[in-house]
Structure 1
Amino acid sequence: MQDSAFRQSIALLGTRRFGTFWFASLLANIGTWAQQVAQPWLLLSLGASPFLLGLDAFALSAPVLLLTVVGGALADRADRRRTIAYFQSIQMLCPVLLVLLLVTGAVQPWVVIVLSLVVGITDALSMPSFQSIVPSIVEREQIPSGIALNTTQFNLSRILGPALAGVLMASAGLAGAFAVSALSYVPFILVALWVLPRTARAAPGARLLDHHQLWAGVREVLHEPGLRGGLTTVLATATLSAPLLTFCPVLVKEVFQGSAGDFSTALGAFGVGGLIGAIGLLALDPHRDRRPLSTWFATAYGAIVVLAALNRWAWVLPALLVLAGVAMTASNASVNALLQSSAPPHIRGQTVSLFMLAMRGGMALGSLVTGATVYWWGVRDALLINGVAAVAVHLVIGRFWLRAPLPRQAS
């Protein structure tokens, strides 16, 4: 059964629309992860404090708190192709500007943080459209496999992007990594306009962002206890465990006295773990209840954060990040598959927006709060507190979530 499920999942890559979408997304994410390596290192090289590092991560994720529900409404009621192309084109200009500022020597920490805010706003408005594309180009029973494959390319990019960034930063400097990030948007935008299905716009005279319909969709999703538990699990993971990755450059540079190459290796290790977790999900029966899988891997992620805080050896950090990548991917992708398989088509974008709100909004809050605790108590103590809290919170959430009825499957 597992071998058959794996073969059927891989076969999706041979389809025209999904295969092209998958490859274009891989290229775009490679560029994104190259920038994710270069940007915190740029801030540290400009003399930014750990708090500013956390503030930059907060600026990138905070707009989700305010705008992702609007992005979900756009995904349900506007043409998703145009939504993606428009906002991703704006986002592409941010690394272009960073390249120009680096070449002219005019870059400042506040500029980097403002540009992160712009990226965060465009992400919040376009990511629900992006995330809801997979269910629109595969059959309903293929949704878990499609999401797992999409998670696979994302985590493959976590390996290739940091590795490419390490090479570029050593040869062409930080500007090289930002230039690759800018170029990687082009194929993805073209695919969004060419391959993705055109969706109906709102009828003439209708309000695109009707707040009554917007909140009605949110209430419909949150009415299901099985879905509420999944969103709460993702929120807790993002708030308490994800700061391990945000403050990884602080661990590498200040605790282990490592280089930019060591940091890119650490991020690549997280990507290796994520890839392993995503491939493992491909072999699962699409009809399997994934709630226990999500709960236990989320709890394991918290335990790994504790181990990373207590770790005294630089060579152990990449190994722990491999395990962290497996745990985060298995937990979050399981919730994502549950949500999208269960959501009715008319609120699928809104459902994805709540998933993004829990994940990215939690990361924003976690980065800001952890940045303050890192500033006052140091990175080790801050991560130790986060990890212990994550384990406790997930054990409590799981106690109730696993007893809730399974959500209805969307027709």
Structure 2
Amino acid sequence: MADGSDPRPAPVSPLAPFQFPAFRAIWIANLASNMGSMIQSVGAAWLMTELTQSHLLIALVNAGATIPILLLGVFAGAIADNYDRRRVMLAAQAAMLAASAALAVVTWAGAIGPLSLLFFTLAVGCGTAVNSPAWQASVRQQVGHAHLPQAIALNSIAFNLARSVGPALGGLLISLTGPATAFALNTLSYLALIVVLLRWKPATEPPAKSPMLAAIATGIRFCAQSDPVRRVLMRGFSFGFGAAAFQALLPSLVRDQLKGTELVYGLCLGAFGLGSILCALWVGAARRRWGSERVVSVATLAFAAAMLPVALTQMVGAVLVAAFTAGMAWVGTLTTLNVAMQLRSPDAILGRCLSIYQAVTFGALALGAWSFGLVADLWTLPAAVLAGGGWLALSVPVLHAVAPMPGRDEGRVAP
């Protein structure tokens, strides 16, 4: 029965995963790394508004961080399942450090242009694409199966805590010193996580290796044959595509519609992050009480509603409230989808399943960024944002009928 409800075990403290030293250390280091990444993303997005008037190129800065997940995601998942996940994360973090350092040097030298900025954004995105499946699949090694939902929520809080503070700091830093300093600071932020990963020595069995293409085929076959997983992927694609209209076009909206500065842009992202944190604290309880289907549907409609003032008003305060609401809806949807995916994926192919989920969801985000950026260039910014909101609003009744969230124990793997 696919009623979207979840089982109701005895409540577990949302902070319970912090009792595990490995999770605690990685969480703190990851928070520092996320803070640097958010500062860099603000710098890159705002720098592009100074390099070009094209809404499409500005939107592609956001897409540049997610396109590699679409192109490399399934390969990254196979790598995460075939090799030591800690080593995979170390290699990815080192590559992102090198790309960010090169971006800082080129920007400082005054040699950066729209295409080179997109290149470096794509390079960092490639590192993220390789790192993400290994990192998410390693959470079970850090806390075990019983605390997995709480650990996922806490990781979401770390990301969104960085998203709430990092953009405002990034906007202030860029206004005072320029984007090169922001890129250099992000370069340093990778060091904390690299040090923690070097010290973490999880006791794991050597992974059973299989040929890359065969491993990828196994993951795709499982996701295609599992009806609950297939429905989660459909929900992820639909939400990612529509939400891109807000995520990718926000720099253009701040510049052209609000007549704001990089600091206003940072504050908008900060409001988004604050909403994300607030939602992450209670979304688990909401799922237990109302079920995954209702949480995802309400959150998607809330995101769609938040896009109305973003498209139609020139008041900064109204956009900040809308961004706060969108942040809550973002986490309510994606955290619920992530938990549903993890609990229905066998451990042996967990990396591949998560990489497919990310490729579908964030690939849709990249596709949406390109599509709505093109709409903004051909028509207007408000039209593009309203089109994204309309997509999300229409998707709720359609997907409720054809792809409801998995219910209770439907498709769950044994601990």
Question: Structure 1 length normalisation: TM-score?
Answer: 0.93
Q: Which residue of 1 aligns with 2:412?
A: 408
Say whether residues 1:376 and 2:378 are aligned partners: yes
Read off the aligned partner of 2:87 and give its amino acid letter: R
Partner of residue 5 from structure 1, selected from 7, 11, 20: 11
Quick one: distance in 2 between partners of 1:320 and 1:185?
32
Partner of residue 126 from structure 1, selected from 113, 123, 131: 131
Quick one: distance in 1 between partners of 2:147 and 2:289?
10
Aligned residues: 405
Q: Which residue of 2 aligns with 1:159?
A: 164
Q: Which residue of 2 aligns with 1:184?
A: 189
Read off the aligned partner of 1:136 and give its amino acid letter: Q
- Correspondence list, 1:168-317, <5 A: 168-195=173-200, 197=202, 199-201=204-206, 207-209=210-212, 211-283=213-285, 289-317=291-319
Partner of residue 79 from structure 2, selected from 74, 78, 102: 74
Q: Which residue of 1 aligns with 2:3?
A: none
Say whether residues 1:393 and 2:381 are aligned partners: no
Confirm or deny: 8 A CA contact 2:84 2:207 kept in the other structure. Answer: no
Q: Taking structure 1 as reference, are residues 242 and 199 closer, same or farther at Cα in structure 2, changes over 3 Å only?
A: farther
Q: Which residue of 2 aligns with 1:59?
A: 64
Q: Which residue of 2 aligns with 1:44?
A: 49
Moved more, 289-298 or 139-148: 289-298
- Work out the percentage of aligned pairs sharing the same amino acid: 28
Q: Which residue of 2 aligns with 1:114?
A: 119
- Correspondence list, 1:23-34, <5 A: 23-34=28-39
Q: How far did 1:285 drift?
A: 7.0
Read off the aligned partner of 1:320 and give its amino acid letter: A
Quick one: distance in 2 between partners of 1:109 and 1:324?
28
Say whether residues 1:93 and 2:95 are aligned partners: no
Confirm or deny: 8 A CA contact 1:274 1:322 kept in the other structure. Answer: yes
Quick one: distance in 2 between partners of 1:298 and 1:409?
27
Quick one: distance in 1 between partners of 2:405 and 2:124?
39
Quick one: distance in 2 between partners of 1:280 and 1:308?
26
Q: How far did 1:401 drift?
A: 3.0
Read off the aligned partner of 2:54 and give its amino acid letter: S
Read off the aligned partner of 2:138 and give its amino acid letter: I
Confirm or deny: 8 A CA contact 1:303 1:388 kept in the other structure. Answer: no
Q: Taking structure 1 as reference, are residues 125 and 404 closer, same or farther at Cα in structure 2, changes over 3 Å only?
A: closer
Q: Which residue of 2 aligns with 1:346?
A: 348
Read off the aligned partner of 1:231 and give its amino acid letter: L
Q: How far did 1:293 drift?
A: 1.1
Quick one: distance in 2 between partners of 1:404 and 1:282?
16
Q: How far did 1:74 drift?
A: 1.0
Deviations 1:119-162 (A, max 9, x none): 22222222100111212211212111110111111110101211
Confirm or deny: 8 A CA contact 2:14 2:281 kept in the other structure. Answer: no
Q: Taking structure 1 as reference, are residues 196 and 129 closer, same or farther at Cα in structure 2, changes over 3 Å only?
A: farther
Deviations 1:153-196 (A, max 9, x none): 11101012112212311332212211111111011122222226
Q: What RMSD over aligned residues (CA atoms) do the two structures have, in Å?
A: 2.1
Deviations 1:226-259 (A, max 9, x none): 2222221111111111330211111111011001
Moved more, 82-91 or 218-227: 218-227
Read off the aligned partner of 1:351 and give its amino acid letter: C
Moved more, 272-281 or 224-233: 224-233
Quick one: distance in 2 between partners of 1:48 and 1:95?
24
Quick one: distance in 2 between partners of 1:224 and 1:295?
22
Confirm or deny: 8 A CA contact 2:43 2:170 kept in the other structure. Answer: yes
- Correspondence list, 1:360-375, <5 A: 360-375=362-377
Confirm or deny: 8 A CA contact 2:287 2:295 kept in the other structure. Answer: no
Question: Structure 2 length normalisation: TM-score?
Answer: 0.92
Confirm or deny: 8 A CA contact 1:290 1:334 kept in the other structure. Answer: yes
Moved more, 321-330 or 182-191: 182-191
Quick one: distance in 1 between partners of 2:203 and 2:367?
35
Q: How far did 1:73 drift?
A: 0.7
Confirm or deny: 8 A CA contact 1:80 1:199 kept in the other structure. Answer: no
Q: How far did 1:312 drift?
A: 3.6
Ranges in structure 2 where 5+ consecutive residues have no aligned partner: 1-7
Q: Taking structure 1 as reference, are residues 142 and 287 closer, same or farther at Cα in structure 2, changes over 3 Å only?
A: farther
